Amino acid sequence: NAGVTQTPKFQVLKTGQSMTLQCAQDMNHEYMSWYRQDPGMGLRLIHYSVGAGITDQGEVPNGYNVSRSTTEDFPLRLLSAAPSQTSVYFCASSPLGAFEKLFFGSGTQLSVL
């Protein structure tokens, strides 16, 4: 199993550009989420999903869109990139239910100039 796969690993954008960060998992996990990680601030939840067709906002959703059309894929869209969105983005998945651990992808390092 590949686990959680994120693409691309690195991306540089100009302010105002749009892009989609891809996340796919092959473990049949119902739950998927996106976090951003900034120095000294820990991981902050952007959006999450508990199954295909169901998404909800996390702590820092502004500027990001998500959709979940299949169990496997959970893309994160930046509609108009801003320098404040420069960060490392992690996708995570897990089975639904209490006491489940998160499986993380290897991250996407995004720079917005």
Partner 1 sequence: SQKIEQNSEALNIQEGKTATLTCNYTNYSPAYLQWYRQDPGRGPVFLLLIRENEKEKRKERLKVTFDTTLKQSLFHITASQPADSATYLCAPSVSGGQNFVFGPGTRLSVLP
- Which residues sit at the interface with partner 1, rule CB under 8 A? 4, 31, 33, 35, 40-45, 48, 50, 58-59, 90, 92, 94, 96, 98-107
Q: How far is the CB of 68 from partner 1 (least distance, A)?
A: 14
Residue 41 or 82 with smaller CB distance to partner 1: 41
Distance in angstroms (rounded) separating the CA atoms of residues 8 and 62: 22
**H-helix or E-strand spanning residue 38:** strand 31-38
Residue 14 or 28 with smaller CB distance to partner 1: 28
Do the strands 64-66 and 76-78 form a parallel or antiparallel pair, or are they unpaired? Answer: antiparallel
Q: Which residues, at least 6 apart from 19, have a Cβ–Cβ distance to it below 8 Å?
A: 11, 13, 77, 78, 81
Q: How far is the CB of 80 from partner 1 (least distance, A)?
A: 26
Q: How far is the CB of 93 from partner 1 (least distance, A)?
A: 9
Residue 85 or 94 with smaller CB distance to partner 1: 94
103, 94 in Cβ contact below 8 A?
yes
